[in-house]
Structure 1
Amino acid sequence: MRPFILALAVCVPSTAFADLTVTFRDGAPKDRFTLTYQGACALDRLAVQIDLGTAPAGLIFDTTGAGAGVDVFQPLEWVTGTATTSDVTDGDTLLSMTLEGVSPGATWAFTVDIDDTTSTRQITVDGSEMAGATVTAEGQTGAFDGSGDATVPLQNCIS
């Protein structure tokens, strides 16, 4: 009886799940976001949003010297992978992007400056200040934890 049950379980299609993990690391003068797709199936593209506005620390993108950010500023620059992004102006809290070439294990990384608006050391943002910011992809949302890491669970494919 067990071989029959095992054979039945193997033949029934199941949904494979994937994750999009995003890590934030503070750096000088550039902060870094790294996105990794941990799925089994390739996708043409993946729409992703990073929302800093949901973090209690009052985080903003600091992309120019003449805006809401303080002191050091850095525009958004892709360093790994290709993606199209929304325009990010100084003081924005939302970044929309479309990742291209989404294959299992693919990684994208960009640098930009992030400032907080609620402390006396606004130019340094650590993982604990990133806590509460969110990442959304395919209608699913994950929140950054106190280490600056977020995971978005995605339904990947039917296997």
Structure 2
Amino acid sequence: MWKTSIALMCLAGAAQAADCTGASLRFVESAPRDRFELQIGTQPLRAVTVDLRGSAGRLIFDTEDGGTGVEVFQPLRDEGGTQASDVADGAEVIKVALRETAAGGRAAFSIDVDDRMTSSDLGQIRVTGGEMAGATAIFETADGTQIKAVFDDRNRAQVCS
């Protein structure tokens, strides 16, 4: 009986995951620039905010030499479809305006992200999925509605209905 219940819960979870057609943001740890890849989903978007304050790794954006982060630093850079702006070194929240806003579209931007843990999985200069978990992405639709999604331990924040 309990095996059947577990199987049904797994099937229900798989069906729910299949219904995730909303916006998603994926973090890709890379050197020298970390990258955020946006899939716009079914609703047009005008901006995405990344809020690292709830992250397990106490993450920050490292944008200046000698600042809050460790060794390598990188400012915000458009990698397609975004409007890059200045980000203060050590910031925990950034809002990125989008040039490519159509439903189903894609956009990307890069910046350096570091953790502030005394003992982290790969050192403070590299971020693992477990350290990104708990951070949030806030997707702003064309009509100004804000939709929040939390990053999981696979570096992905996705809107599901």
TM-score normalized with structure 2 length: 0.76
Match of 2:25 among 16, 22, 26: 22
1:37 to 20, 40, 63: 40
Count residues with an aligned counterpart. 134
Task: Please name the residue that 2:136 is paired with.
Answer: 134
| Contact 2:82–2:107 (8 Å) recurs in 1 | yes
Structure 1 residue 38 displacement after superposition? 1.4
Indicate if the aligned counterparts of 1:25 and 1:126 stay in contact, CA closer than 8 A. no
Is contact 2:136-2:148 (8 Å) kept?
yes
Query: What is the CA–CA distance in structure 2 between the aligned matches of 1:66 and 1:74, rounded to whole Å?
Result: 12
1:68 corresponds to which residue? 68
| Residues 18, 84 of structure 1: alpha-carbon distance in 2 compared, 3 angstrom cutoff | farther
Q: Partner of 2:126 in structure 1?
A: 124
Pairwise CA distance, 1:18: 5.1
What is the CA–CA distance in structure 1 between the aligned matches of 2:115 and 2:80, rounded to whole Å? 25
Q: For structure 2, which runs of at least 5 residues remain unmatched after alignment?
A: 1-19, 140-144
Of structures 1 and 2, the larger Rg is shown by: 1
Range with bigger deviation, 92-101 or 124-133: 92-101
What is the distance in 2 between the residues matched to 1:52 and 1:74?
A: 17
Q: Give me the whole-angstrom Cα distance separating, in 2, the residues matched to 1:107 and 1:21.
A: 10
Offset of residue 54 of structure 1? 1.2
Q: Is 1:135–1:152's contact at 8 Å kept on the other side of the alignment?
A: no
Structure 1: unaligned runs, 5 residues or longer: 1-16, 155-159
Separation in 2, partners of 1:82, 1:58: 25
- Cα RMSD, aligned residues only: 1.9
CA–CA distance in structure 2, aligned partners of residues 47 and 80 of structure 1: 14
Give how far 1:119 is off: 3.4
Q: CA deviation at 1:52?
A: 0.6
Q: Which of 137, 153, 159 is residue 146 of structure 1 equivalent to? A: 153
Residue type matched to 2:118 in 1? S
Identity %: 38
Aligned to 1:48: 48
* Deviation >3 Å, runs of 4+: none
8 Å contact from structure 2 (residues 77, 84) kept in 1: no
Deviation at 1:47, TM superposition (A): 2.8
TM (norm. structure 1) is 0.76
Contact 2:100 2:106 in 1 (8 A): no
